Chains A and B, each alone.
Chain A
C-alpha cells in the first residue's frame, strides 16, 4: 500500500511538472480547446495506466507526447466525418513543429505573463473577457457593441502584439544565457 502511495506521489509530481508541455503539444495539433482538453485527460489516463512501463529518469513529457500523438491520430480517425482536418502532409509538418516547441512551454508562459503586463488596459480587458471569464468572441462582440468580424480582428491584433513581444523576450533571454 505504501509502495502504491509513493508511486502515486511520483506520478503526480511528474505530471504537475510536465502537464503544461504535454498540453501545449496537444493544443498545436488539436486547436479546438474542448477537444484538446479531452485528449489531454485521456493522455493522462493512459500515462497513469502505463506508469509501470515508464523508465524513471527519462523524459516524462516526451513519453506523454508520444502517447498523445497516438490519441490524436485516433481522434482524427474518429471525428473525420464530423470535422474537416488538415491533410496528412500538413499534419505531419505541424507535428514536427509541435515536437520542437512543446518543451518551451514554461519559458513561453513566463514571457507571456511579462508581455501581458505590458499591454494597454483595453487589450488586457478583452483577454480577460475571453480567457478568464470564458466568453466566446460572439458574446464579447455583443457586450462591446461591435461586429463579430471586427472583434475577431481585435483579438488578432492583440495576439499578434503578444506574439511579437514573446519572441523578443525569448530572444533576449536566450542571448543572455
Chain B
C-alpha cells in the first residue's frame, strides 16, 4: 500500500471519528478499502488506536472495584443518566443461541490497577475531562436503574399469547383457541387443520398462521413452527422475536416476514419489510447464516442446512385477516369490480353483479349479458342514488350537465365540469363478464375474468366509492392510489363506432379526464390518493355525440358507448 494511500485513509478515518466525513469522502474511503485486505487491517488498527485515545476516562479515572466506590461516584451524578434504548434484548437472546463462536485471542485481564504507571497525557496539572467523567458515571448509574427495571419485570417472556382472530378455523388443541382467549406459553403444540388464526404477544408481535400448521409458543418471544406457514409482524418493542423451525432459526431485526416449513423439515423465509437474520441448523448446530433484506427470499435445505435464494412471492402469505369483514389479505390490491359485484374487494363478490344507476339497487345478474331490450335504456333522475347494498359504494348516478350541477356523493360533492349529455344510461354499473354474449375486449385484451376484472359503465354512468370503510378493512395499511385501464370495448354491435369520455374524480375534483375516446384509443389511469381523500368517483359520458335512433330504438341515447374500466384497483401499502 502506498504511503499516500495510508495518509489518505488516516485522514478520512480521523474525519469519520469526528463525524465530519462527507458522503463523497465516505465513498472515497470505501473505494480505498475495497479489495485490499491490508488496507482494511490498517484502517481497523487506526480506529482502534483513536478509540483507545478517546477512552481517556479509562486511563484517568480511578478504577471502580467495589460497590462503595460505585455508589460514591454515582450518588452525585444520578441525574445525568442518558436515555437508554431497551430494544433488541429479545434479539440478543436468539442471536446468542445461534451465532457461531468467535475466536478470541488471550485477553490479558489486569487483576490490579497499575497505579504506578504514568498517565498517557502527563502534565503538571492533571486534568480530568468532565465530559468523560459524566459519561462514565452516567452509564454506571443507568445500569443501576436497569437493575430496578429488570427486577420489576422479571417475567416478561412468560406472558401468555392472545388469540387475535380466527377465520374458518378448525383445531386440534387441548387449550381454548377462541378469539380473545389466552394461550399459555410453554404449552403443548397446537395443530390448525383448517382456516387461519392470528395471535398477538404482550409486546404486540402479530402472527398469522395458515392451516395446515403445527406450532407452539415456548415463551412470548418466539414461536416454534414444526410445519406450516406463518407471517410475523414485529413492532419496535418486540424486536428480536424469533421463529424456530426444525431446520432454521429466523430472528427479527425489525421487520415483517413469512416462514414456510415443509413436512420434510425444509423451510423458507420471505422478508416483506426490514431485515431478518436467518440461520440454518443441522443437528442443532448453525450451518449457515445470512441477513435478508426487504424483498429477499431464501430457502433452507432440511437435510444439509444449505441456504439458497428463492423467488419472492408477494402473495405467498396471509398478511391480514379480519373475520368480521371476511377479509383474508395476501398483499393484493383492492378490486373495485369486486366491490361492484357486492364483494369486499378480494374476490367475494359476484361476477355479473350490477348496480342499477337509477335506483342504487344491487342485482346478482344483469340481463344484458345475453340480451337487450329498449327498457334497458334509462333516463337520469338528476340525483346521486344511494347504494344501500354495499358499505363501500356511496352512490350511483347518470350524469347530465344540462340539468345543472351533478351530485356525486351523499356528502354534497358535485361534478361541476359535467358536460351536457343525452341524459340516458344503459345497463347500470356492472362487474362484467360479457355483454350481449360478446367478450369485453379492451385495447386488444379480454377483460371480465378473475385475473382481469372490469367495470362496465355504458355512457352515461357514474359510481362513487367511499374510501373510509375500504380503509377500515385494514388496521395499519393505507390506500395510496387508484389504477385502471380504460377504453371503449371493441366487440360492440354493428352500427356507429363508439365515442365517449372517461373521468376520475376525488372528492369532487377532477383528477383524470380523457375525452372522445374511440376503440383502441384507451390507456391507463393512475391517481394518487391520500389519507384525507374520501370519495373516488368514476364517470363515463357520451362524448356529446347524441345520435340518431338505430333501428327499433326510438329513444335518443348514446349508441354503443361501451365504456370499460379494466382491472380497476386500489393500491394498498
Chain A residues within 8 Å of B, Cβ to Cβ:
4-5, 8-9, 11-13, 16-21, 23-24, 26-28, 31-38, 41-42, 44-46, 48-50, 53, 59, 61-63, 65-67, 69-71, 73-74, 77, 84-87, 89-90, 93-94, 97-109, 112-113, 116, 124, 127-128, 130-134, 136-138, 152-153, 155-157, 159-160, 162-163, 166-167
Contact = CB atoms under 8 A, between A and B. Distances in A.
Interface of B is mostly: helix
Looking at B48, B86, B105, B150, the one whose CB has the most chain A CB atoms below 10 A away is B48
Interface string B124-142: 0001010100010001101
B329 to A, nearest CB: 26
B388 interface: no
A39 to B, nearest CB: 10
Contacts of B51: 23-24, 26-28, 33, 36
Nearest to A34: B19
Contacts of A20: 52, 55, 58
Interface in B28-71: 29-30, 33-34, 37, 40-56, 58, 63-67, 70
21 contacts: A12-B67, A31-B21, A32-B16, A33-B51, A41-B139, A45-B143, A48-B147, A62-B104, A70-B88, A70-B92, A73-B291, A90-B33, A97-B41, A103-B106, A108-B49, A112-B52, A113-B117, A131-B121, A137-B15, A156-B11, A163-B42
Nearest to B87: A74
Contacts of A166: 45, 49
A53 B93 contact: yes
B40 A97 contact: yes
B12 to A, nearest CB: 9
Contacts of B450: none
Contacts of B448: none
A74 B127 contact: no
Nearest to A159: B10
Interface of A is mostly: helix
B18 interface: yes
B255 to A, nearest CB: 10
A162 B10 CA distance: 12
B49 A70 contact: no
A159 to B, nearest CB: 5
Contacts of B44: 28, 94, 97-98, 101
Q: Which 8 A-B pairs have the closest CB atoms?
A: A27-B51, A31-B16, A156-B10, A131-B53, A32-B19, A103-B105, A17-B109, A84-B23
A165 B89 CA distance: 41
B52 A105 contact: yes
A58 B461 CA distance: 76
